[in-house]
Amino acid sequence: MILLLVAQALFTSEVAEPADLGIELDGMTVRSVKGGSTSGLQPKDVILGFKAWAELVEDLRRRPVDIEFPLQIRRKELTRDIVVRLVAPRKVENDERLVALRTTTVKVGAREYELLAPKGGDKRPLLVLLHGTHSSPFYILAHWAPLAKGEAVIAAPKSKDGLWDAAGADGDFVKAVVDDVSKKHAIDPSRVWVAGHSSGGMFASYLASKRGDLFAAAGCFASHLLWEPAAPSKRPAPILLYLGEKDKLGAPEDRSAHAPTLRKAGHALTVLVEKGGARGPDFHDLNDRGCGVIWEWLKRQKLSER
């Protein structure tokens, strides 16, 4: 079995060229790996499970860029979790989501963020999107851009090496992104929101605690809650935590363990649990319903003093 054939069967109408994923399998054992198109896999690796296969399928359909996804393998009798990079060029003319994702890459110092900014009009809210571990801005943008539909300016920062350092330099980086967007576009400072998926949601909850003077509210999808005990913001921002009941990366009661602490610190915290989970094999992936719930909630949040 060659993954190229799978990609062609699923995405013939959207792939500009055959999406050669560069992996040839004999059953579930890697026979060969073409140089340049993948990283992380080696010949003779045995694939134990596509831990995010549903996410991979959706990304290949929606993204006009290369992606990374986690994979579990057995190599020399040891089970390992690795990250594989796949490249699949595609056309975007007839796909509303991909058209919506024609972003502008903007540099802030040595870092980058993706920007979606409607042209003209009055001041708009700013939505900052924080992707999950080893993900990218494009996966989270694929779910949020159709929701905003020109209502908000969207900025999606890119983490370093797929990881966020909430208490380190990344807090200043996100603040720099907000400042940069606000200088170049008409932004309503009373409606600056942050939302994140998985570890990006953890970072969002941290920013709600640390920078409630900047962010009117934070939406967290399938994430744990963080809070800032040292020098928290004078204004604890409201937080919405959206969880799947069957999320294999953490039960709802574990993910919301800091809820009493955050409420005691003054945060208006709402925890919503999707019965049965969301979708996908591990019930951790983004879904349109959850993003829509967070989006409608965010639009009701505003910094009253501004």
- Cβ-in-10-Å burial (0-12, 13-18, 19+) of 77 comes to exposed
When comparing pLDDT for 276 and 64, which is higher?
276
Closest CA to 236 of 180, 301, 300: 301
Measure CA 3 to chain center. Answer: 25
User: Do 222 and 108 share a structural domain?
Assistant: yes
What's the DSSP call for residue 120? Answer: S
> E strands along the chain, which residues?
23-26, 29-33, 46-49, 67-75, 78-86, 104-108, 111-116, 124-130, 153-157, 187-197, 217-221, 239-244, 269-274
User: Do 134 and 58 share a structural domain?
Assistant: no
Instruction: Inform me whether the pLDDT recorded for 132 exceeds 60.
Output: yes
Domain range for 67 is 3-86
User: Do 292 and 169 share a structural domain?
Assistant: yes
- Provide, rounded to the nearest whole percent, the portion of the chain with pLDDT above 90: 32
- Over residues 140-144, the mean pLDDT reads 85
**How confident is the model over 243-263, as pLDDT tens digits?**
888 777 777 777 778 888 889
Q: How many domains does the chain have?
A: 2
User: Do 50 and 145 share a structural domain?
Assistant: no
Q: How far apart are CA 165 and CA 168, in angstroms?
A: 5
User: Do 108 and 68 share a structural domain?
Assistant: no
What are 199's two structure tokens?
């570890």
